[in-house]
Amino acid sequence: MTGKYVATSTIMIEAPTSRVWSVLTDRDAIREFMFGADVVTDWAIGGPIVWRGVWKGKEYEDKGTILEFEPGRRLVHTHFSPLGGREDKPENYHTLTWTLEGETDSTELTLSQDNNATAEEAKHSKGMWDILVAGVREIAERE
According to the model, what pLDDT value does residue 35 have?
87
According to the model, what pLDDT value does residue 143 have?
66
In this predicted structure, the answer to whether residue 2 has a pLDDT above a threshold of 80 is no
Choice among 71-80, 83-92, 103-112, 133-142 with the minimum mean pLDDT: 83-92
According to the model, what pLDDT value does residue 103 have?
77
Nearest 10 degrees: Cα torsion 142, 40, 48, 35: -50
In this predicted structure, the answer to whether residue 38 has a pLDDT above a threshold of 80 is yes
The pTM of this model reads 0.92
Q: Name all domains of the chain by residue range, CATH numbers in brackets.
A: 5-142 (3.30.530.20)
Q: Which H, E and C letters describe 2-59, residue by residue? A: CCCEEEEEEEEECCCHHHHHHHHHCHHHHHHHCCCCEEEECCCCCCEEEEEEEECCEE
Q: Which one is predicted more confidently, 10 or 55?
A: 10
In this predicted structure, the answer to whether residue 10 has a pLDDT above a threshold of 70 is yes
Which residue in 35, 18, 119, 30 sits closest to 70, CA to CA?
Answer: 18
Contact 104, 16 (CB under 8 A): yes
- The average pLDDT across 66-87 equals 93
Backbone angles phi, psi at 92, to 5 degrees: -100, 5
Q: What's the pLDDT tens digit per position in 101-143? A: 997 899 999 999 999 989 999 999 999 999 999 999 999 999 6
